[in-house]
Amino acid sequence: MFNQTEIAPLTAARKKDSLGCLSNQLHKDIELEAGDFTFYRKCRRQEKTSEVATPASDRGVLIGVSLSAGHRRRIISGNRSAMHEFDKDSVYIRNFEEDYRADLHGAFDFVLVEFSRAFITNTGYERSGSHMTGFSAQPGGKDPIFGHLAQVLALALDRESQASPLFIEQLGVTIGTHLVDHYGGAPAQSVKPGRRLSSLHETRAKDMLLAKTQDNVSLEEIASACNLSRSYFIRAFRETTNRTPHQWLLEQRIERSRHLLRSSDASLSEIAIACGFSDQSHFTRTFTQLVGTPPGSWRRLARS
């Protein structure tokens, strides 16, 4: 489902990446594609100045969130330009329908999410019942919610082997919904609260979640089976179960692991794989977080 590439800065074959950055200046260059979303981590440690320039296209919309302070960016529009300071949690929005030029000054560390035009259009209608008229955000303005989500996304991107596609997909929907609600040209006040899954859709969604392995869970596939959009499905699932799909699935896996710990002599690594975790370390960390004690200790107490 995901396609991730990480490029070493000294051996990057391409001169510029898909966002117009010079790849050979990047300390970190991560791109992860997931349907309507493309996730990026762009980090440069050197105090350099470089230019970014991309022509107009139909790619969609990009939101960038700064993970650190000290970056400056001169954004050029026609014959006018303006310098913007970026602190931690500072944000900028880039519409790919427009030409983009900017001079990047100093080091930076950004998490970015690119949304397809279809996702933005569908989410706008779903949230407000009207067409999106664009986005309004001063480059460099701070948004603590985006800042928090960016920190979580950065950790997920940095831990490729442990990243849950389901969790990352949910992050994309959450970031996109906040983008539309707070920076979009259409109001979100008309969203109707209290939407729940029907019993049929709840059962279907749970069965599909349990049937999937860690590597091929797709919210898009489950939402489509319920004849719902992905963002509507996530909110309706949470309204119905008081859990996100990812939280609910983790709890089910932990419950199954408790049964195996109590009733079988399987090793922790065998139980981890049987319950859908990537490895024993992932299983132990998740079990400890949700149960409050490591699985080995829990097994000894359960059998005593």
Domain extents in the chain: 3-183, 199-242, 252-303
DSSP alpha helix (H) spans, the chain: 117-128, 144-158, 165-183, 199-211, 219-225, 230-241, 245-263, 268-274, 280-291, 295-303
Q: At what angle do helices 230-241 and 117-128 cross, to 10 degrees?
A: 50
For residue 10, the model assigns a pLDDT of: 40
Q: Do the beta carbons of residue 168 and residue 220 sit within 8 Å? A: no
Nearest to 230 by CA among 238, 220, 239: 220
Question: How far apart are the C-alpha atoms of 294 and 266, rounded to whole Å?
Answer: 16
Q: What are phi and psi of 97, to 5 degrees?
A: -70, -15
If you search the block for the tokens 């996730």, which residue do you land on? 39
Nearest to 40 by CA among 153, 128, 164: 153
Is the sign of the CA dihedral 102, 46, 11, 164 positive or negative? Answer: negative
Domain 199-242 and domain 252-303, same fold? Reply is yes
If you search the block for the tokens 């350099």, which residue do you land on? 48
Per-residue pLDDT of the chain (304 residues; tens, 9 = 90+): 555 544 444 444 447 888 988 888 899 999 988 878 999 999 999 888 888 988 999 899 999 999 999 999 999 988 888 999 999 999 999 999 889 999 999 999 999 999 998 888 888 877 766 666 678 888 899 999 999 999 999 999 988 667 778 888 889 999 999 998 888 875 444 445 557 888 888 998 998 888 865 556 678 888 888 888 888 888 889 889 988 888 899 899 999 999 999 999 999 999 999 998 888 998 998 999 899 999 999 999 988 8
If you search the block for the tokens 């230019």, which residue do you land on? 51
Helices and strands (H, E) in the chain, number of each type: 10, 11
For residue 85, the model assigns a pLDDT of: 94
CATH architecture of 252-303: Orthogonal Bundle (1.10)
Spatial strand order of the sheet with 3-6 comes to 3-6, 28-34, 37-44, 108-115, 61-66, 90-95, 141-142
Question: How far apart are the C-alpha atoms of 145 and 291, rounded to whole Å?
Answer: 28
CA distances 49 to 45, 72, 112, Å, are 12, 10, 20
For residue 269, the model assigns a pLDDT of: 93
CATH architecture of 3-183: Sandwich (2.60)
Cα angle 58, 60, 62 (rounded to 5 degrees) comes to 135
For residue 161, the model assigns a pLDDT of: 66
Question: How far apart are the C-alpha atoms of 22 and 16, rounded to whole Å?
Answer: 4
For residue 190, the model assigns a pLDDT of: 45
CATH architecture of 199-242: Orthogonal Bundle (1.10)
